[in-house]
Structure 1
């Protein structure tokens, strides 16, 4: 039996994705045996150096003396492990699901059956704002939770429009809660953390790294029933998220864009590849009813 305190302590020291954590558990049977595992054995299981394994075990021993549940609670952070009732079942379909999710706000939003991600370019234009005026209100009427990534551009527009129209939104972060990126979205992040939901797979101390954002995108896709793309260039990171969604058989809805605009080249390319063109939220609702 795996102990919550031990799972959180090990994840704090070495945040393994669930597939690798399960390999570890299969080898040592339980979290209670981590402390008795030799650096040589741990190194072999995790395919890391013995010195690295030794450091992990040393740090783990130190963190075990701290009640992380209380520490997180004092910072309004809820730790949701892979076996929690609030952990989204759909994340288990990923190749590398997070072992722990860290949340601020209303974690009941994770149990809502209808969630749609709205994503797009960090350089989104007023065209995205106009499109969201037609897309978001019908979704809010159906109590659909809007998921995005708190980035500048389309993500911020989607979160703000959802709040404006009285809906609920989830922002998935690419860093721990001791950091905030981008800093321009501090007020928006506070609003979401108090009345909606901020979500991350990273322990609080983990800072902003470029490679975290593609990892974050798989969670945005993983917890959502479908994706909406407003604007995206051909080299946009948005297309990484759509690839995750397509791999798991999810619908991709795309706002067609003017053929001469750079921010429409990625979206129009998605349409050519079979994405579903939409220009209001009612189309999304009708399309999802068909399936």
Structure 2
């Protein structure tokens, strides 16, 4: 995307009420961000989801100071803007629900073409958690040349990234803040090495602080860019579990390493295993699943072994996709029952969630 297009994109982004969904809709309709800004209020308000008030804001609500500042910081930090409409935008990410309209990127952008695998977990890992994170990251890099993706947070994320760097591997960090903010601050010591063999990605503009609310949303990008997600160690409140849930929605393989039943730091990953995540005891457990996903085709005649609520839901989805509320009514289940059962079925790989809380069977 050229400089004028980037400026127009940032101008559109600065308008209050223009989020990723509306931005994708507008640019897809008009073709370029420049043409969106050139359109009149009447033409803009003809687009579904764009009311007259929003159209008027597009014409008069651009924050010029924000745009100027972002363009200046892009040059200062030698960063780029990658949009949903660029050829280099990862196809894998483009296909997820609610993909970012654009990304700020810094580093080796060619890594977006690599086969990648996510490793995530607790911010306060035990010595066991650190050791197994190092082990699997190293084996995925040296044995299978996979790029390691994580969130640059303390703990498991940082161990995964640093293991990649130590083994001359490639790594991608998806941030919950602007590219100009190094967080956590102790990771400043690996920043320069990271830029030589890695890529920083953020959907947040420069000067965005690492607010707690930013991190859950960025997790969908971590899983979206990956072939699969490995949780090496995570408690019940760990954000890594949200990455696993996003991965399920995106039809990614979800893996977890079992931990001691007495350790709260493994309670979340152990619970994922109870719900059907792939148990990992060696690198072969990951590789066999990934190669099977790439090479094997499912048998259309083979029915899964389901019982009780799962069997009822599976039969209801015969030949059609249904909204979660419709499923609950037809199955005679409460909201909590339907959610729990569908999650288990997703982990088993027999149903898939689509946009709008619609479910279909596989």
How far apart, CA to CA, are the structure 2 residues paired with 1:161 and 1:144? Answer: 13
What residue in structure 2 maps to residue 209 of structure 1?
211
What residue in structure 1 maps to residue 154 of structure 2?
152
RMSD (Å) for aligned C-alpha atoms:
3.1
Larger radius of gyration: 2
8 A Cα contact 2:123 2:156, kept in partner: yes
Compute the TM-score of the two structures, normalised by the length of structure 2: 0.71
What residue in structure 1 maps to residue 263 of structure 2?
261
2:120 is the counterpart of 1:119: yes
Counterparts in 2 of 1:146-225, with a 5 A limit?
A: 146-225=148-227
Deviation, 1:17, is 4.6
Residues 239 and 138 of structure 1, relative CA distance in 2, 3 Å threshold: same
8 A Cα contact 1:150 1:189, kept in partner: no
SS in 1 for 2:62: helix
SS in 1 for 2:149: strand
What residue in structure 2 maps to residue 231 of structure 1?
233
What residue in structure 1 maps to residue 133 of structure 2?
132
How far apart, CA to CA, are the structure 2 residues paired with 1:206 and 1:53? Answer: 26
Residues 239 and 68 of structure 1, relative CA distance in 2, 3 Å threshold: closer
8 A Cα contact 2:121 2:234, kept in partner: yes
How far apart, CA to CA, are the structure 1 residues paired with 2:66 and 2:243? Answer: 36
Deviation, 1:281, is 2.5
8 A Cα contact 2:97 2:250, kept in partner: no
Residues 186 and 16 of structure 1, relative CA distance in 2, 3 Å threshold: farther
2:45 is the counterpart of 1:34: no
SS in 1 for 2:226: coil
8 A Cα contact 1:189 1:198, kept in partner: no
The C-alpha deviation readout for 1:226-254, integer Å capped at 9, x for no partner, is 00101111121111110000112111111
How far apart, CA to CA, are the structure 2 residues paired with 1:205 and 1:255? Answer: 36
The C-alpha deviation readout for 1:197-251, integer Å capped at 9, x for no partner, is 1110111122222111011100001000100101111121111110000112111
How far apart, CA to CA, are the structure 1 residues paired with 2:113 and 2:73? Answer: 25
Deviation, 1:58, is 4.4
8 A Cα contact 2:121 2:232, kept in partner: yes
How far apart, CA to CA, are the structure 2 residues paired with 1:61 and 1:182? Answer: 30
How far apart, CA to CA, are the structure 1 residues paired with 2:102 and 2:17? Answer: 8
How far apart, CA to CA, are the structure 1 residues paired with 2:67 and 2:244? Answer: 42
SS in 2 for 1:268: helix
The C-alpha deviation readout for 1:104-156, integer Å capped at 9, x for no partner, is 100000011x1100000011111122112331222112110000000001101
8 A Cα contact 1:128 1:154, kept in partner: yes
8 A Cα contact 1:101 1:201, kept in partner: yes
8 A Cα contact 2:133 2:156, kept in partner: no
SS in 1 for 2:182: coil
8 A Cα contact 2:179 2:201, kept in partner: no
Residues 16 and 226 of structure 1, relative CA distance in 2, 3 Å threshold: farther
Shifted more, 166-175 versus 74-83: the winner is: 74-83
Deviation, 1:97, is 1.0
Gaps of 5+ in 1: none
8 A Cα contact 1:17 1:98, kept in partner: no
